[in-house]
Chain A
Amino acid sequence: MMGENPYRSHNARILEVKELTPREKLYTLRFTDREMGNFEFKPGQFVIVNLKGFGEFPVSLCSPPTRKGYFQLCIRRVGRVTKFIHGMNEGDVVGIRGPYGNGFPMGGMEGSNLVLVAGGLGMAPLRSVLWYAIDTGNYKHMWLFYGTKSYEDILFRDEVLHLLKHGPSMNCTVKLAYEVETPSCVYLERGFSTQVCRGVVTDLFKGEEFDVEDTYALVCGPPIMYRFVIRELLNRKLSPGRIYITLERRMRCGVGKCGHCVVGTSTSMKYVCRDGPVFTYWDALSTRGLI
């Protein structure tokens, strides 16, 4: 018999399935294993979902740790295993192991401004940060800049629309950039002309001023987005140590063994799953191939 097997997953029941977009579904889960009753995580960490007989995939936790008793995963249908989980219903049981990764250093950022820059599915880990920040109330002001393809692709649309309107009362400014013009977008732009525009996510920085000495930027999105967002942040003289990025890689084990997520060169090898997935921009400067 062997000791604790780190590759063993724990059963969790799907409490709710919500279709966010035609491709993405939001799963609300709770552990049925009694030993996982004290499951705790940090915003930015991820879990590995295990569907016995189909395989495993890593996915970031998108609910804030302040909401107890459940956790949420936003899953896009992209392959074999995610297609299978998209066919599962409320009441079904999946395996979960984790949480893995370092997560965002939320404690160290307390009392400062947060600029959250999300692109597409990058909204998922940042939603955890956003609601954590709103729930705890320990942060000065939050900006959420969200770049999306079209109105139909907005993840957590009801929350985003709610925050567009009521954000200021929660110290939160939400801005939205869309690429494809549809009637819904035009309608939205007409309603929130200062907050919604057609363009890319960097366009949303216009007209927003924040104190670079007291601001942290948290960026998550497709690989191409980082370069432009970081250029914008650096133009505003935000220190590379205050820019946090969270990265995606192929991950099989989640604990720094399988080797797929290794990045860097001979001076700077890192495992994204163990040393990340959250890095500062300084890490990206000193580790080639990170972004």
Chain B
Amino acid sequence: MTLKYVKLHSENFDDLFNYLTGLGDVYAPVKKGRVHSFQRVLNSREADFNYTRTMLPPKKFFIKPKEELFRPKGGKWIGEVEERTLILFGLHSCDIHGLQILDRVYLSEPADPYYKARRERSIIIGMSCIPDEYCFCRSLGTDFAMSGFDLFLHELPDGWLVRVGSVRGHEIIWINEGLFDEVSEEDLASFKAFEEERARAFKRELNREGLADILDLAYDNPLWSKYAERCLACGNCTLVCPTCRCYEVCDRWASSYDAVRERRYDSCFMESHGLVAGGHNFRPTRLDRFRHRYYCKNYFDPEAGFNCVGCGRCDEFCPAGIEHVRVLEEIRGSLR
């Protein structure tokens, strides 16, 4: 049996899921009110895999919204991370790409030990999706995950076509060999049909041709201030972005005798983001901060790649209704 691609029948899905819950904490998308969220689940019925995107991306498992870095212990300042295996079930391709972008930042030398420890003990199970009106991952090449997962499940009419992406994934298949079958010609046809249907479902496109230079040239474009005035500077888009990773560190007194050093998410929309000692602010206006985020997201790093994965979260959760692609297209249009 070739082990790069295997088939999982629908009736065996729960068995695989239950095997994974035995390995550690399984987190899967759960419907909460109007949005989905990655939550710990004990069986597959609690999860809802018919989702497009969660509100918070899976970065919340690796860089916590608020976490302790150091705590005094025995007269020393100790940093520790907990050691539970983390299984993320049902990640879409864009989120897997998002994690890989975070990897290139947090695992580059010197590696962030907290992120690294969590990343090493995580198992990523991807899942295919159908895009909605906000998705533009195809324009960015993040609509298909080639690496960064252990198993990737592609929907078939009667089960799942499973791609194996790592040794860990291979081991999971190996141990549960009875659950899997070989991929038939018919499955491949269904897989192809699904991918074609998916490709047709994209409604939004981002023209990336020369975008970096166009944005740089449009530094003084009045469109920026038009949008910056609409922007509420709430920082929602940075919280829900799978690749936004700024953090702030502060020391907090847990009791009269104990201080803990904590870090928490920061957002470049906050006024203090560019503030330095003495009161000089390098990004003093909302316009500066608004533009800064667009520049950061649309920077193509030769080593780290593009900083945006096209998940559409910032569009869906922006209270002012500012749409990433539309801003970029308007900027491009204004240059003509």
Residues in chain A within 8 A of chain B (CB atoms): 1-9, 52-57, 76, 78-79, 82, 95, 222-223, 248-250, 252-253, 255-260, 262-269, 288-289
Which residue in B77, B275, B299 is a CB contact (below 8 Å) of A266?
A: B299
Flag if B295 contacts A265 (CB, 8 Å).
yes
Flag if B211 contacts A258 (CB, 8 Å).
no
Q: 0/1 per residue, B300-313, Cβ < 8 Å to A?
A: 11000000000000
Known contacts A250-B275, A269-B301; A2 and B117 CB within 8 A of each other: yes
Q: B31 interface residue, CB < 8 Å from A?
A: no
Tell me the bound Cα distance from A259 to B268 in angstroms.
9
Contacts of A252 in B (CB 8 A): 247-249
Flag if B277 contacts A78 (CB, 8 Å).
yes
Residues in chain B within 8 A of chain A (CB atoms): 69-70, 72, 77, 79-81, 105-106, 108, 110-114, 116-117, 211-213, 215-216, 219, 245-251, 253, 259, 261, 266, 268, 272-278, 280, 282, 292, 294-296, 298-301
Contacts of A78 in B (CB 8 A): 277-278
Flag if A288 contacts B216 (CB, 8 Å).
yes
Known contacts A5-B79, A256-B105; A266 and B298 CB within 8 A of each other: yes
Flag if A266 contacts B211 (CB, 8 Å).
yes
A-B contact list, 19 entries, CB within 8 Å = A2-B80, A2-B117, A7-B69, A7-B70, A7-B113, A8-B70, A54-B251, A76-B278, A255-B110, A257-B112, A257-B245, A258-B249, A260-B273, A265-B215, A266-B211, A266-B212, A266-B294, A268-B299, A288-B219
From B253, which residue of chain A is reached at the shortest CB distance? A53
- Shortest CB–CB separation between residue A14 and chain B, in angstroms? 18
Tell me the bound Cα distance from A76 to B266 in angstroms.
26
Tell me the bound Cα distance from A38 to B325 in angstroms.
52
Q: Do most interface residues of chain A lie in helix, strand or loop, or is the interface mixed?
A: loop
Which residue in A223, A259, A264, A288 is a CB contact (below 8 Å) of B247?
A: A259
Which residue in B116, B216, B247, B253 is a CB contact (below 8 Å) of A267?
A: B216
Q: Do most interface residues of chain B lie in helix, strand or loop, or is the interface mixed?
A: mixed
Max chain B CB contacts within 10 Å: which of A9, A53, A223, A249? Answer: A53
Q: Which 5 A-B pairs have the closest CB atoms?
A: A53-B259, A259-B246, A6-B110, A266-B212, A269-B299
Contacts of A258 in B (CB 8 A): 246-249, 266
Known contacts A7-B79, A257-B106, A269-B299; A55 and B249 CB within 8 A of each other: yes
Contacts of A7 in B (CB 8 A): 69-70, 79, 113
From A274, which residue of chain B is reached at the shortest CB distance? B108
From A255, which residue of chain B is reached at the shortest CB distance? B110
- Shortest CB–CB separation between residue B28 and chain A, in angstroms? 28
Tell me the bound Cα distance from A4 to B298 in angstroms.
33
Contacts of A57 in B (CB 8 A): 277
- Shortest CB–CB separation between residue B27 and chain A, in angstroms? 22
Tell me the bound Cα distance from A79 to B295 in angstroms.
31
Tell me the bound Cα distance from A260 to B272 in angstroms.
9
Which residue in B105, B117, B216 is a CB contact (below 8 Å) of A265?
A: B216
From B114, which residue of chain A is reached at the shortest CB distance? A2
Tell me the bound Cα distance from A52 to B114 in angstroms.
19
Tell me the bound Cα distance from A253 to B105 in angstroms.
13
Which residue in A52, A79, A259 is a CB contact (below 8 Å) of B259?
A: A52
Which residue in A5, A55, A268, A288 is a CB contact (below 8 Å) of B113?
A: A5
Flag if B266 contacts A260 (CB, 8 Å).
yes
Known contacts A52-B259, A259-B266, A265-B219; A2 and B113 CB within 8 A of each other: yes
Which residue in A8, A53, A249, A267 is a CB contact (below 8 Å) of B282?
A: A249
